[in-house]
Amino acid sequence: MRDVAKLAGVSHQTVSRVINEHPNVRAETRERVLAAMRSLNYRRNLAARTLATRESHTLGIIGFETTLFGPESMLYGIESAARAAGYLVSVATVRDLEHRPVLEAVDRLAQHDVDGIIAIAPKASVITALTHAPGGLACVAVGGAGPIASPHGGSTPEEPFPTVRVDNAAGARLATRHLLDLGHATVHHAAGPPDWPESQARVEGWRETLYAAGAVVPPVTSGWWDAAAGYEQGRRLAADHSVTAVFCSNDRIALGVLRALQEAGRRVPEDVSVVGFDDMPDSGFFLPPLTTVHQDFAELGRRALALLLRHMGRPGDAPPEDVVVAPSLVPRASSAPPRAGSALPGSAPPGPGSAPTRSS
């Protein structure tokens, strides 16, 4: 920078002003400085800038060390939005979402002077860890179930926290409603891990919809977010011939359920309808193509970044907003009306709103 100043015949401060687009620089001077910068191939040193301003123009992302589709996609959404806003993102992953490892990740990011943190894949424990972040460090959680206390797990954090998330309950309602509308007496549910708020919210949306329709609410089974867990759950469901419709907490679980049903000789969608959640890129190519609930992860990432920047702007504590994105249903071949009289021993009463109209 000193060299640039010398070459342009100005002081280093003027060079700094040009770099930072300060208005009070004569156009001619600015040009001279810019020319000098070009000819010297000058590039500002961000470390020095960080030292002086205490702003690193870097954002931290806390991720979960597992290839879950959602978190992945959000990483990209966040990164590209951050790039547009002039930030670089650094990632710190944690092996499990407990208090301790998350705190360490926050610490690591804080040490590298990140200006703010976005935590992906939050369980309640992640959020409580985040509230212990060093003062002044803006944090946002993306995913999770937001401040809506779950009626089951008592572990949801008490204090509100800035969050961006998909309306999981609404998505579950969409899926359940869809199956009910097709004429199924009731809908079974293959849930995700019981201690994940997103899973809890989906259970809730499902239960609520059945209840409102006067349908029987079958017991919930749960497991990890993968196909192996879905297979496990699917085997149990396949054994029960009263099951005609299954809503799965994500597409990977649905994949496992699909396989279990097929192994048991139950055809999809003729014997059993299956609906997933996520709309992964390939779920349209499952056998059969999977009806599912679409979430726009990229949009979620963008919103998360926007929220974080808003919070960074106001250094003190601003009201913690809760941004909610609506999911949508993607009907495909894995759901269809039940065969006449397929629910054989069905202890399920024909709920009120079960007119077999095709959902759009």
Partner DNA sequence: GAGCACGTTGAGAACGGTAACACTCACGAA
Partner DNA sequence: TTCGTGAGTGTTACCGTTCTCAACGTGCTC
Please choose, out of 23-31, 60-68, 118-126, 213-221, the segment that lies near a copy of itself by the rule CB under 8 A.
60-68
Told to check if 25 binds DNA by CB under 7 A, we report: yes
Please choose, out of 177-185, 206-214, 224-232, 334-342, the segment that lies near a copy of itself by the rule CB under 8 A.
224-232
Q: Minimum CB separation from DNA for residue 1, in Å? A: 3
Query: Would you give the binding string for a copy of itself spanning residues 254-283, x where CB under 8 A is met?
Result: -xx-xx--x------------------xx-
Q: Which of 18, 92, 246, 308 binds a copy of itself (CB under 8 A)?
A: 92
Instruction: Assign 3-class secondary structure to the chain.
Output: CHHHHHHHCCCHHHHHHHHCCCCCCCHHHHHHHHHHHHHHCCCCCHHHHHHHHCCCCEEEEEEECCCCHHHHHHHHHHHHHHHHCCCEEEEEEECCCCHHHHHHHHHHHHHCCCCEEEEECCCHHHHHHHHCCCCCCEEEEECCCCCCCCCCCCCCCCCCCCEEEECHHHHHHHHHHHHHHCCCCCCEEEECCCCCHHHHHHHHHHHHHHHHCCCCCCCCEECCCCHHHHHHHHHHHHHCCCCCEEEECCHHHHHHHHHHHHHCCCCCCCCCEEECCECCCCHHHCCCCCEEEECCHHHHHHHHHHHHHHHHHCCCCCCCCEEEECCEEECCCCCCCCCCCCCCCCCCCCCCCCCCCCCC
Q: Which does 351 bind (CB under 5 to 8 A by kind): a copy of itself, DNA, none?
A: none
Query: Would you give the binding string for a copy of itself spanning residues 280-299, x where CB under 8 A is met?
Result: -xx-xxxx-x----------
Told to check if 44 binds DNA by CB under 7 A, we report: yes
Told to check if 26 binds DNA by CB under 7 A, we report: yes
Q: Which is nearer to a copy of itself, 92 or 169 (CB)?
A: 92
Q: Which of 21, 41, 52, 67 binds DNA (CB under 7 A)?
A: 52
Q: Which does 270 bind (CB under 5 to 8 A by kind): a copy of itself, DNA, none?
A: none
Q: Which of 23, 28, 67, 265 binds a copy of itself (CB under 8 A)?
A: 67
Q: Which of 8, 17, 37, 58 binds a copy of itself (CB under 8 A)?
A: 58
Q: Which of 30, 32, 108, 294 binds a copy of itself (CB under 8 A)?
A: 108
The residues near 334 (Cβ < 8 Å, ≥ 6 apart) are: 254, 258, 268, 269, 273, 274, 275, 276, 286, 288, 289, 290, 291
Q: Which is nearer to a copy of itself, 29 or 93 (CB)?
A: 93
Interaction site with DNA (CB under 7 A): 1-2, 9-14, 16-17, 19-20, 23-26, 28-30, 42-45, 48-49, 51-53
Residues that bind a copy of itself (CB under 8 A): 43-48, 50-51, 56-58, 65-67, 69, 72-73, 75-76, 79-80, 83, 88-93, 95, 108-109, 111-113, 226-228, 230-231, 252, 255-256, 258-259, 262, 281-282, 284-287, 289
